[in-house]
Chains A and B, each alone.
Chain A
Amino acid sequence: KAGVTQTPRYLIKTRGQQVTLSCSPISGHRSVSWYQQTPGQGLQFLFEYFSETQRNKGNFPGRFSGRQFSNSRSEMNVSTLELGDSALYLCASSPGTASIRNEQFFGPGTRLTVL
């Protein structure tokens, strides 16, 4: 099976712009989660989608949003970019049943730099 893929891998934007990142989960996985990783804050949970519905949300401002399509692919969007949004954005997929035993499989991440 192919792993989780994320596009683009690297991105440079300027303050005030918006950005859309894409994640394709492992085939058959229905749950997609997004994380932000920065040197200062570590790995922080953004949100999780399951069957096109947001299931959980972390403590991030409304500038961060996401969605999931019927094929389980997911996008996250950050509007009005700030310098502090520079980070590695990671996507993870899991089979997405209600079982809490399901591990998450991470993609390689998108490195976003805001200038």
Chain B
Amino acid sequence: DAKTTQPTSMDCAEGRAANLPCNHSTISGNEYVYWYRQIHSQGPQYIIHGLKNNETNEMASLIITEDRKSSTLILPHATLRDTAVYYCIVRALGQFYFGTGTSLTVIP
């Protein structure tokens, strides 16, 4: 059951900010937004999560709209190592629903 919608692919110049959007218009009040990324053939890596407030950690920032129907993951200074598939996931109790993700390519 896909609960999120993401663009299939995006490019970003190295050193620039990468802004990855996610639509989750059916999100419930108790569901968190999580972001993971997966570098080719490796296990997904946790990036960040939030409920309604904007969040920032050493990897990225998460901006959630006031109505919580969409969010944006921001990688402030993209590097070549950030090339990966990025998954936006909503989750309450229970399983994580991974969509198809956004394939981000960082271009030198």
Contact B43 A43 (CB under 8 A): no
B47 to chain A, nearest CB (A): 9
Interface residues on B, range: 20 to 34
Interface of B is mostly: loop
Interface of A is mostly: strand
Of A12-20, A68-76, A77-85, A100-108, the one contacting chain B is A100-108
Q: Taking A42-B98, A43-B98, A45-B95 as contacts, is the C-beta distance between A104 and B46 under 8 angstroms?
A: yes
A25 to chain B, nearest CB (A): 13
**Whose C-beta in chain B lies nearest to the C-beta of A45?**
B95
Interface of chain B residues 66 through 98 with chain A (CB within 8 A)? 87, 91-98
Contact B44 A43 (CB under 8 A): yes
Contact A43 B87 (CB under 8 A): yes
Contact B93 A100 (CB under 8 A): yes
A57 to chain B, nearest CB (A): 9
Taking Cβ atoms with an 8 Å cutoff, the residues of A that contact B are: 4, 33, 35, 42-45, 48, 55-56, 58, 88, 90, 92, 98, 100-101, 103-109, 111
Taking Cβ atoms with an 8 Å cutoff, the residues of B that contact A are: 30-32, 34, 36, 41-46, 49, 87, 91-101
